[in-house]
Amino acid sequence: MNVYICTDLEGVCGVFRWEQTREYGTPANVEARRLLMGEVNAAVAGAFDAGAARVVVRDGHNGAKSFLPEELDERAEMIMGLTSRYDDVTKEGFDAAILLGYHAMSHTQGGVLCHTQSSVGWNNYWINDRLAGEIAQSAIMLGAQGIPVVMVTGDDKTCAEARDWLGDGVVTVEVKKGLSREGALMLAPKKARALIREGAREAVANAPVAAPFRPEFPLRIRWQYKDSLVVDRYRGEAEVIDPYTIERLVADPADILAP
Ligand SMILES: [Zn+2]
């Protein structure tokens, strides 16, 4: 059993303000990344508790430079840096994926640091007329490679969004309750890590019966930006819906993020 863990920063316990996630290298950002590493290691431990042979963790937050390498559990491997999400590593064969530290889609009421892809540039994103966020995007891209998402962690809205898209079979670990976009009722980080370890153990143990998320392609994807300049300058195949919005049919799962 090989396990692939995709990470983000906004959904980690103790992370609740943009200062922690947007500004790189500040004390607030380093604190957030240390909290991330604690949750990464908890998920790694849970996966090995369940008998995983190999665990690879992907740094998924802005620029993929958020891990503190020295802190990684030595049984795991990590992917950092600017790579395609369809890098050769996922092709090495994984049986289950965990989405760790994820956040709810754009404009989720009370969703801590909620956004879809870019909290600065993107407004909304739809898949076949259904509002979607990064959980659906990750699940589709992993699913296309035959890898089921077996667990999602983040705030309560993130967990609800995960069950909404992936069904009640997905293990969700709620590490905080969103009170606003920059405020949360949170567990102690140590408690969050204990729940994540237990959740990962259960999720990986049940992975053999989990199904990859595989909606039928082509998908009709709609991107809505915050600045009409993005659409003004766009020269691709997509149809312009309004000054902020473009839409196109996407046939290849690797193309669902970019028009
Ligand atoms: Zn992020």
pLDDT along the chain (259 residues), means of 10: 98 98 97 98 98 98 96 98 82 96 98 95 97 98 96 98 98 98 98 98 97 98 96 94 97 92
| pLDDT at position 251 | 96
DSSP code of 71? G
**Residue 64 placed within a domain:** yes
User: What spacing in Å lies between the alpha carbon of 62 and ligand 1's midpoint?
Assistant: 6
Record the pTM: 0.97
Q: Where are the alpha helices (DSSP H) in the chain?
A: 18-22, 27-49, 134-143, 156-166, 189-205, 228-233
For residue 152, give the 3-state DSSP assignment.
Answer: strand
Please report whether residue 239 resides in a domain. Answer: no
Distances (CA, A) of 28 to 8, 100, 115, 150, 195: 16, 20, 20, 31, 24
225 within domain boundaries: no
Confidence (pLDDT) at 200: 98
229 within domain boundaries: no
d(C-alpha 182, C-alpha 213), whole Å: 31
Residue 160 CA to ligand 1 center (angstroms) comes to: 18
Tell me how far the alpha carbon of residue 60 lies from the centroid of ligand 1, in angstroms.
7
pLDDT of residue 65: 97
CATH of the domain at 69: 3.40.50.10780
Tell how far the Cα of 154 is from the centroid of ligand 1, in angstroms: 12
Residue 234 lies in a domain: no
The boundaries of the domain holding residue 133 are 2-217
DSSP 172: E
Residue 143 C-beta-side C-alpha neighbours within 13 Å: 21
Q: What is residue 139's predicted lDDT score, i.e. its pLDDT?
A: 98
Q: How many domains is the chain partitioned into structurally?
A: 1
How far does the centroid of ligand 1 lie from the alpha carbon of residue 167, in Å? 23
pLDDT of residue 84: 78
Which residues place a Cβ less than 5 A from the ion ligand 1?
8-10, 61
Q: What integer pLDDT is reported at residue 85 of this predicted model?
A: 72
Distance 61 CA to ligand 1 centre (A): 4
Cα 166 to middle of ligand 1, angstroms: 21
